[in-house]
Amino acid sequence: MYKIISGKEVSEAVKLRVSDEVKELKENGIEPCLAVILVGDDPASRVYVNNKKKACEFCGIRSLEYVLPAETKEEELIELVEKLNNDKSVNGILCQLPLPKHLDEKKVLNLIKPEKDVDAFHPENVGHIMIGDFNFLPCTPAGIMEMLRYENIDLDGKNCVVIGRSNIVGKPMAMLMLKENATVTICHSRTKNLKEVVAGADVIVAAVGRPNFVTADMVKDGAVIIDVGINRMDDGKLCGDVDFEACKEKASYITPVPGGVGPMTIATLMQNTITATRIQNGKE
């Protein structure tokens, strides 16, 4: 018998906790503020930015939105990031990815002050994650860890397989699981025996970006399945990387798409904004 881990439910709990923290900060005259930069008109990015704005409203966090045209010059974007870096009333800065091709993503992300880097993409924050001593955690992996904690799923000694090795999801996910004493394997497009590796997993995290990549024959009975993938199908519906209907029968826990990891990513962003606010105001 499987249980669906509802990202909606867990994220509500996180956002309520954040709202309480916001109230407390405001009582002390501190108003947390998140600035979001969106360059271009990618529809998926627009949806993500809108969801982030709604979450800020829910939590009482002031949100600033900077929408720049796709043809924005790198100097203009850099100027905006620097302005926000120097603005004491802004606690968190997020640049929605992907950026248009002519802009150097790495350069822009590295420019965000580490203490305002609520996505935790800056090399300084990535380094902190590697050594297990961090202020911010990347939103998606941290949201997944929160879901696992919420369901009392202990990773100690478990075989965890992460499919995907991106800097945003796969790599930091593996680090966080390692910190919880799991034995972690990372698979990617060059992995030779991927099916067998995944079949040995107690916990599977799929972050591939391919619909129905994880099939039931790859799932051990009782495995926990976390589906990070967001794939837009021809009929406009969203689907994850896991063949949910078939895999759920073998799983002990499974996350749906939509309503799984996605809302957790945003809830963690809210939490990171509060952490940033506390650090900047000496209230850790």
Would you tell me which residues interact with ligand NDP (CB under 6 A)? Answer: 140, 163-166, 168-170, 187-191, 194, 207-210, 228-231, 261-262, 265
**Residue among 189 and 193 whose Cβ is closer to ligand NDP:** 189
Q: Is 119 an annotated catalytic residue?
A: yes
Q: How many residues does the chain have?
A: 284
The CB-of-157 to ligand NDP minimum distance in angstroms stands at 25
The CB-of-38 to ligand NDP minimum distance in angstroms stands at 16
Torsion of CA 86, 91, 97, 101, to 10 degrees: 0
**Residue among 168 and 184 whose Cβ is closer to ligand NDP:** 168
Burial 19-47 (b: 16+ CB within 10 A, else e): bebbeebeeeebebbbbbbbbbebeebee
**Residue among 25 and 198 whose Cβ is closer to ligand NDP:** 198
Catalytic-role residue among 15, 52, 171, 248: 52
Q: Where are the beta strands (DSSP E) in 69-110?
A: 92-95
**Residue among 152 and 193 whose Cβ is closer to ligand NDP:** 193
Catalytic-role residue among 119, 202, 227, 243: 119
Contact 199, 218 (CB under 8 A): yes
**Residue among 261 and 270 whose Cβ is closer to ligand NDP:** 261
Rounded CA gap, 38 and 68, in Å? 6
The CB-of-156 to ligand NDP minimum distance in angstroms stands at 25
Rounded CA gap, 192 and 85, in Å? 44
Contact 159, 202 (CB under 8 A): yes
Question: CB neighbours of 234 closer than 8 A, spacing ≥ 6?
Answer: none
3-state secondary structure of 189: coil
Q: Hunting for tokens 């911010």 — which residue is that? A: 136
**Residue among 80 and 213 whose Cβ is closer to ligand NDP:** 213
The CB-of-284 to ligand NDP minimum distance in angstroms stands at 27
The CB-of-164 to ligand NDP minimum distance in angstroms stands at 3
Rounded CA gap, 268 and 110, in Å? 21
Rounded CA gap, 58 and 268, in Å? 14
Which residue in the shown chain puts its C-beta closest to ligand NDP? 166
Percentage helix, strand, coil for the chain under 3-state DSSP, each rounded to 5: 45, 20, 40
Q: Is 52 an annotated catalytic residue?
A: yes
The CB-of-268 to ligand NDP minimum distance in angstroms stands at 9
Catalytic residues: 52, 96, 119
